Amino acid sequence: MKTLMSALALCCFATFAQAQTSEEHPGGMNTYYRVTIKNGKGVEVGYARFTPLLHGTQVDFNLHGMPPGQHAVHIHEKGSCVGPDFTSAGGHFSPKHAMHGYDNAKGPHEGDLANIFVSADGKAEAQMIAHDLVAKKGTGIFQKGGTSIVIHDQADDEKSQPSGAAGNRIACGVIELK
């Protein structure tokens, strides 16, 4: 139930938070950074768009060609997406060394994001707010060397360590300002 409430809070907060995009962020109002996401065969399956907010980051997804169902999404610590297994992305992004999961009293990682749902046609559009995720040049997800966004083949259970029992990594995109 707590996981569902967290997901609903992410969903419903998006419209309010979008209006709070800060002019202090690089590029000013409505600045965003788009990341191409590819599957393990190197085929583009969509993108994620990161928009800095006053408190956190808005992440928008537009995906296609994905397996239907619930999928975990995490920010990983390294800016590398070598397929087919994407282990080059390293572990979850957690500069504060938090535990994994929204249902963990010592969590979540800064890189924990809500699950996304892919429809039977392989498409998904989603929007979420990551309150602890910093998207500012030179820090947070835009740290030196970059980070990556990884989609897993299963849903995140929001508590198992270290990755929510999310299964294999099936898609990845490098997050790096150039």
Question: Domains in the chain: how many in total?
Answer: 1
Q: Does the pLDDT of residue 147 top 50, yes or no?
A: yes
Residue 40, CA distances (Å) to 28, 29, 98 in order: 35, 35, 29
Tokens, residue 15 = 């419209």
Interatomic CA distance for residues 165 and 154, integer angstroms: 8
Structural domain of 122: 2-175
pLDDT digits (tens, 9 = 90+) for 77-111: 999 999 999 999 999 888 887 767 677 777 677 88
pLDDT digits (tens, 9 = 90+) for 44-89: 999 999 998 888 899 999 999 999 999 999 999 999 999 999 999 9
Tokens, residue 106 = 């010592």
Q: What is the CATH number of the domain that holds 90?
A: 2.60.40.200
